[in-house]
């Protein structure tokens, strides 16, 4: 396949349909990758309890659309940063599945010194639609192609001017990235110091989607009583890097029935997941 240069003409480009399968081994490994531990999360890491599947696992099979975009579009791996991620679940994810994933480019923005590309994926199994994902990639050094600048960070809702209703703290481990990457995101910038320096970083740092999964675990526990069937959607913007060993503090503001604004921070107060929202069903 000939890779195409980044331009506004890419909007609407569809990728070949892929078939993705997973087993309970895959979903349990993902749970460990986003910090689940037997003492608190046994249902997600032990086949004797199902296992349940973390809703944010959808980013793994849904991420094949990102792979399709990287194969179709000219971009340098070391210059990529994950910009935003959202998921919308139609049904709880099963621990064993085979799905067809369709993907397409939804937007291309010219930020001057960088380009932003958005991609959407839809996964379907024998019973119909299972989930939808949307992600953006921030490609440093790829702007200036004459496209529209697109929305700015100030165009979206910010956290309420009051104390959060819920605060949850979850620790990360030094080996977090080494475990998370086994679920499929093998970008060496998250494990190889030399490759990280090539990208302009002092050291490897945690996958944005690992941070997303950790905050998603807090949302699931605090708003859904740890019931994946109550988890409807979750999306946010990656605002800063997380270092291995950081504590991730999830702050939640309820804004209505089944709706909340979410923000992820490090223990020292740096915002790492911003402009995040979730929807959920009432439990109990």
Task: State both tokens at 4.
Answer: 């195409």
- Residue 190 a catalytic site member: yes
Catalytic residue among 190, 202, 226, 227: 190
CB 25 within 8 A of CB 57: no
Catalytic residue among 134, 185, 207, 246: 185
For residues 205 and 81, give the distance between their C-alpha atoms in angstroms, rounded to a whole number.
Answer: 11
CA distances, 129 to each of 103, 115, 122, 237 (Å): 13, 31, 7, 25
Helix axes 24-33, 38-45, angle to 10 degrees: 150
- Residue 171 a catalytic site member: no
Q: Would you tell me how many other CB atoms lie within 10 Å of the CB of residue 177?
A: 22
Strand bridging mode 114-125 / 128-140: antiparallel
CB 133 within 8 A of CB 216: no
Q: Would you tell me how many other CB atoms lie within 10 Å of the CB of residue 167?
A: 13
For residues 71 and 66, give the distance between their C-alpha atoms in angstroms, rounded to a whole number.
Answer: 9
Residues annotated catalytic, as ranges: 185, 190
């Amino acid at each position: 396949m000939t890779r195409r240069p980044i331009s506004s003409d890419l909007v609407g480009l569809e990728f070949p349909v892929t078939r993705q399968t997973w087993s309970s081994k895959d979903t349990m490994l993902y749970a460990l990758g986003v910090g689940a531990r037997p003492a608190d999360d046994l249902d997600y890491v032990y086949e004797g309890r199902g296992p349940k599947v973390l809703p944010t696992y959808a980013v793994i099979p849904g991420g094949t659309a990102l792979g399709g975009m990287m194969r179709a579009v000219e971009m340098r791996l070391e210059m990529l940063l994950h910009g935003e991620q959202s998921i919308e679940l139609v049904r709880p994810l099963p621990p064993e599945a085979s799905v067809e994933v369709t993907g397409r480019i939804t937007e291309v923005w010219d930020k001057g010194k960088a380009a932003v590309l958005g991609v959407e994926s839809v996964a379907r199994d024998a019973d119909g639609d299972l989930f939808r994902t949307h992600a953006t990639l921030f490609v440093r050094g790829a702007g200036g192609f004459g496209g529209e600048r697109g929305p700015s960070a100030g165009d979206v809702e910010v956290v309420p001017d009051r104390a959060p209703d819920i605060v949850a703290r979850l620790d990360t481990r030094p080996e977090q990235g080494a475990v998370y990457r086994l679920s499929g995101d093998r970008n060496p910038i998250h494990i190889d110091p030399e490759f990280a320096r090539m990208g302009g970083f002092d050291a490897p740092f945690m996958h944005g989607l690992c941070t997303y999964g950790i905050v998603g675990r807090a949302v699931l526990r605090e708003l859904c009583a740890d019931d994946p069937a109550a988890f409807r959607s979750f999306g946010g913007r990656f605002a800063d890097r997380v270092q291995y060993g950081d504590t991730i503090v999830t702050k939640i503001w309820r804004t209505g029935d089944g709706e909340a604004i979410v923000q992820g921070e490090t223990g020292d107060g740096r915002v790492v997941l911003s402009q995040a929202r979730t929807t959920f069903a009432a439990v109990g």
